[in-house]
Amino acid sequence: MYFSLPLVLGVKVMAVVFRRAKPRPAVEYVLGSPGQVDFTLQQVEYIPGRTELEVYINGLLAYPDLDYTVVDPKTIRLAEPLPESAELAFKVRSW
């Protein structure tokens, strides 16, 4: 910490540092049907370049371009159709 004025002995200095808290991610949960590949985001807002998207399938993190692609800010397409019912979580974080 730097001060522009000289400090005098016996003078108490208190500094309060505020750290900006990271916003909590918004999460949308969807139950996918067997054979389903396209999912439309209803509750979260993904803005490419301003937010980060994470996709989880049955709790496992899916990899962009390998496991899914973003068709547009509201549509996510899986690389492979779901073989059975699965819970998907779409997590969006602001930067």
Res 32: pLDDT: 96
Res 15: pLDDT: 58
- 24/13: higher pLDDT: 24
The predicted model scores a pTM of: 0.74
User: How would you classify residue 14: left for phi > 0, otherwise alpha for psi between -120 and 50, otherwise beta?
Assistant: beta
pLDDT (tens digit per residue) in 40-91: 999 999 999 889 999 999 999 999 999 999 999 999 999 999 999 999 999 9
Q: Looking at the DSSP assignment, which residues form a beta bridge with residue 92?
A: 26, 53
Res 44: pLDDT: 93
